[in-house]
Amino acid sequence: MSKVNRFDVITIFPDYLAPLNLSLIGRAIDAGLIEIGIHDLRDQTSDVHGSVDDTPYGGGAGMVMSPEPWGKAIDAVAELAPGVEHELIVLTPAGEKLTQDLAIELTSSKHLIFACGRYEGIDVRVSDYYANASGFKVREVSIGDYVLGGGEVATLVIMEAIIRLLPGVIGNPSSLDEESHTLRDGDDSLVEYPNYTKPKEWRGLSVPDVLLSGNHGEIAKWRLEQAKSRTNNRPK
Ligand code: 6GU
C-alpha cells in the first residue's frame, strides 16, 4: 500500500504548527520519512491588509473566509507533490469525526493538504470546487463535538494520529497492536488495559499478582477482561 509522504498545512497562524518539529513527528521529518510544509494563507492575498475574510452573504454574525486566497494557496501546494492524488482535509466542526479507522485510512494518501479555517469557516465553494477538480479528493473532518477557534489544533491531532502509524516512525511497531482503539473484541474496538511498572508497591498500592505470575495465558486473559470492563464503564 502506498503511504503518506507529504503533508502541507495552510493557515493564517503558521506558528501554531510549531510543535510538529518536536518529538515523534520531528524525528520522522529528520529521518526523511515524511515532509511537512506550513504555508501562510496571507501570502496569497493581494491587498495591503492581507484580508482573508468577508461578511457572510445572507447576513449573520461573524466572518467567512474568502475563496480566492484559499484557491491560490491550494493550487500552489498541490504543485509541491506532482503526479499524485491530493487529499484536501478541510477542518470544520461540521465534518466527519476523526476515528482510529479514519487515521488508518489516511495513511494510504500520498499527499495530504490541511486547510485550517478560522472565524465562521471557509466559503463552501472551496470544498465544492476541489471535490470536482481532477487529481483531488476532499474530506471535511472534525476532531469531536465541541468548537475550537480554528482548525490548527485539529490538524496537529490528525497529523499525529496518522504519522505515528507510518512505517519506521515508531521504534517498536508491535506497541501499535495493543493500544487503545486497536485492541479488538470481535468487531468492537476496546480501550487499553491498565499498565504497571516498577516498583511492585507504591504508596500502598500493589501490582496485580497475575502480572507477576509469568503465566502469559492468564495475563492475556486478565488484560482482555480489564479492557472490556474499562470500555463498558467509560462515560459515553
Ligand atoms: Cl476541525 N475545527 C474547529 N474550529 N472546531 C472543531 C474542530 C475543527 N473539530 C472539533 N471542533
pLDDT tens per residue across span 103-150: 999 999 999 999 999 988 999 999 999 999 999 999 999 999 999 999
The atom of ligand 1 lying closest to the CA of 150 is 4
Probe target for ligand 1 pocket from 91, 97, 102, 114, with the most ligand atoms within 8 Å of CB: 91
Q: What is the pTM of this model?
A: 0.94
Strands 6-11, 111-116: pairing is parallel
The helix, strand and coil proportions of the chain, stated in percent and rounded to the nearest 5, come to 35, 20, 40
Query: Looking at residue 178, what is its pLDDT?
Result: 77
**CATH number corresponding to 4-162:** 3.40.1280.10
Ligand 1 centroid vs 151 CA: distance in angstroms?
6
Amino acid at 144: G
Residue 15: the pLDDT is 98
Residue spans per domain, the chain:
4-162, 172-231
pLDDT value at residue 22? 95
In this prediction, residue 2 carries a pLDDT of: 54
Grid coordinates representing 160?
499525529
Q: What CATH number labels 172-231? A: 1.10.1270.20
